Chains A and B, each alone.
Chain A
Amino acid sequence: MLFDVERVRKDFPILNQRVHGNPLVYLDNAATSQKPRVVLEAMKRYYETVNSNVHRGVHYLSEQATADYEHARTKVQRFINAPHVHEVVFVRGTTEGINLVAQSYGRKNVEKGDEVLISGLEHHSNIVPWQILCDEKGARLRIVPINDSGEIVLEEYEKLLNNKTKIVSLGHVSNALGTVNPIKRMIATAHRFGIPVLIDGAQGVPHMKVDVQDLNADFYVFSGHKMFGPTGIGILYGKTEFLDAMPPFQGGGDMIKSVTFEKTVYNDLPYKFEAGTPNIEGAIGMGAAIDYLHEFDWNSVSAYEADLLSYATDSVSVVKKLRLVGTAAEKAGVLSFVIDGVHPHDVGTILDREGIAIRTGHHCAQPVMQRFGVPATARASFAFYNMKSEVDTLVKALYKVNEVFG
């Protein structure tokens, strides 16, 4: 089935508008994606017809809200092919998911002298939680280097794994460069050493079908808002054996079975990790986004996106003084670049006036910027609703940048 981008764009009301007098060209999808109408409607419907707290009341609305919330969890389970629904924990987003594992699994299992292994490609949210843990424990954060194309150096990865390594935490797809990491292989390697692996899938799920069993990931974390769902909701998937053995992350209502001043008995999975009233409409919105994604044939989506990225890569390469940052063989959705003599922020301002939204800056990945010796880059990031004609608009605007800056 051929992918019909024109039809898809009609599902996203926000795309049909003008910015500074020009049609909006939204190329900041790695920051957050836009939401299809079905997601917005699901959340509106929830507030208009069901709104109530979950897991509490015996009244009709509460039962309804609980059913919808839990139904969303089942959708997520199927979406990533998790073996059990109790392995799907609702969190605020990828950042909270990683912090949860660092604070709960990490604090329990990482001791002085131990090591936590991440890569040089990581987003700050997959660096700082581990730094906090390592500082507290007197453990060592070790970094797998990346090469000049922005790929993890696998030989170095293998060398860094040892019996002191307590957990490996890797991005599925780099938000700054778009590199798709060979995580299935890297997980298998870590497992040979008996080391569990967390995958930051924030940039993975919007671009590819993820199967946590096929990957054999011990933890897989992602956000709703980067996969066409709402902000403030995300998923921590964890294997039962790990989640069961982990202490709670936050205390409060819903995460307990019984409370006395002497002792509290914690709730079963996944509720042990869901203290307080959750983001109910967020979960429902995320469920609606998953339903929406199910309508697509992912082979044709992937082919469309790969073709778009390759067209964009070729198109921008003719712009004078432009240099791509991140040229990995396997990439998804991201074009990071610099123009010699022009700061990315100036590029961003000029593009904005043409109606083009891109991200400029360090993309919450300062170590990646340092690795490539640039303070910042301009980043165009794509979703399946972007078109080749938008790439053409981008290229024209980049010519304008060179025109302004001579």
Chain B
Amino acid sequence: MSELRALYQEVILDHNKHPNNFRKIENADREAEGYNPFCGDHYTLFLKLNEEVIEDISFIGSGCAISKASASVMTTVLKGKTKEEAGRLFETFHTLVTGHLNGSMDELGKLAVFSGVSEFPARVKCATLAWHTMQNALKSKEAKTTVTTE
């Protein structure tokens, strides 16, 4: 049960029930779809950019608790960050959920609640779906993109 509790921490369950930034952004600069056909997680991410800075970020859609909480926390953390900072945070987050994080959890801040995911390899894709979608949206020259994992 302890590993389960580490995965399904209260913070994650709260974000799942009451996600932050769970809305559309009208006139978004980027709109990206993230889809995991293996489990049916399906989200749309909206980004409002000001040059290099993520001015606003939001999402809608449905999926498991891990994927939804991850999207919620990600949008909370990335608001106001630069594109480059977002990319770096994704790298750190990825090493965290895959169990490869060397060094301190300090820079992770709110993202640290996902440390339990590394004990559940089948759920890594759930935790990273929103991040992959975000990354794809930022890198793409198109306003609308789609990411499919699995």
Contact = CB atoms under 8 A, between A and B. Distances in A.
Interface in B3-30: 3-5, 7-8, 13, 17
B8 A346 contact: yes
Interface stretch (B47-55, B60-68, B75-83, B134-142): B60-68
A179 B65 CA distance: 30
Contacts of B123: 345, 349
B40 A405 contact: no
Contacts of B7: 349
A375 to B, nearest CB: 4
A354 to B, nearest CB: 9
Contacts of A203: none
Contacts of A376: 39-40
A15 to B, nearest CB: 22
Interface string B113-131: 0000000101100100000
Nearest to A345: B64
B122 A349 contact: yes
B62 A375 contact: yes
A346 B4 contact: no
Interface residues of A, number: 19
Nearest to B120: A349
Contact of A360 (B3, B39, B63): B39
Given A360-B39, A361-B40, A405 B65 contact: yes
Nearest to B2: A353
Interface in A197-218: none
A350 interface: yes
A342 B13 CA distance: 10
Contacts of A346: 8, 64-66
B59 to A, nearest CB: 16
Contacts of B39: 343-345, 360-361, 376
A331 interface: no
Contacts of B66: 345-346
Nearest to A350: B4
Interface string A358-392: 00111000000100000110000000000000000
B4 A404 contact: yes
Contacts of A361: 38-40
A343 B63 contact: yes
Interface residues of B, number: 22
A373 to B, nearest CB: 12
Contact of A343 (B17, B65, B120, B122): B65
Nearest to A376: B40
A129 to B, nearest CB: 19
B122 A375 contact: no
A353 B66 CA distance: 16
A344 B63 CA distance: 9
Given A360-B39, A361-B39, A404-B4, A343 B13 contact: no
Contacts of A353: 1, 3-4
Given A349-B120, A353-B4, A406 B13 contact: yes
Contact of B64 (A343, A400, A404): A343
Contacts of B42: 375
Contact of B13 (A349, A360, A405): A405
Interface in A172-226: none
Contacts of A400: 1
Nearest to B68: A343
A356 to B, nearest CB: 13
A132 B20 CA distance: 42
Contacts of A349: 4, 7, 120, 122-123
Contacts of B65: 342-343, 346, 405
A185 B64 CA distance: 41
Nearest to B65: A346
B89 to A, nearest CB: 25
A345 B150 CA distance: 15
Interface of A: 341-346, 349-350, 353, 360-362, 369, 375-376, 400, 404-406
6 contacts: A343-B39, A344-B64, A345-B41, A345-B64, A361-B38, A362-B40
Closest 4 CB pairs of A and B: A343-B64, A375-B40, A345-B64, A376-B40
Given A345-B64, A346-B66, 16 more contacts: A341-B17, A343-B39, A344-B39, A345-B39, A345-B66, A346-B8, A346-B65, A349-B4, A349-B7, A349-B120, A353-B4, A360-B39, A361-B38, A362-B40, A376-B39, A405-B8
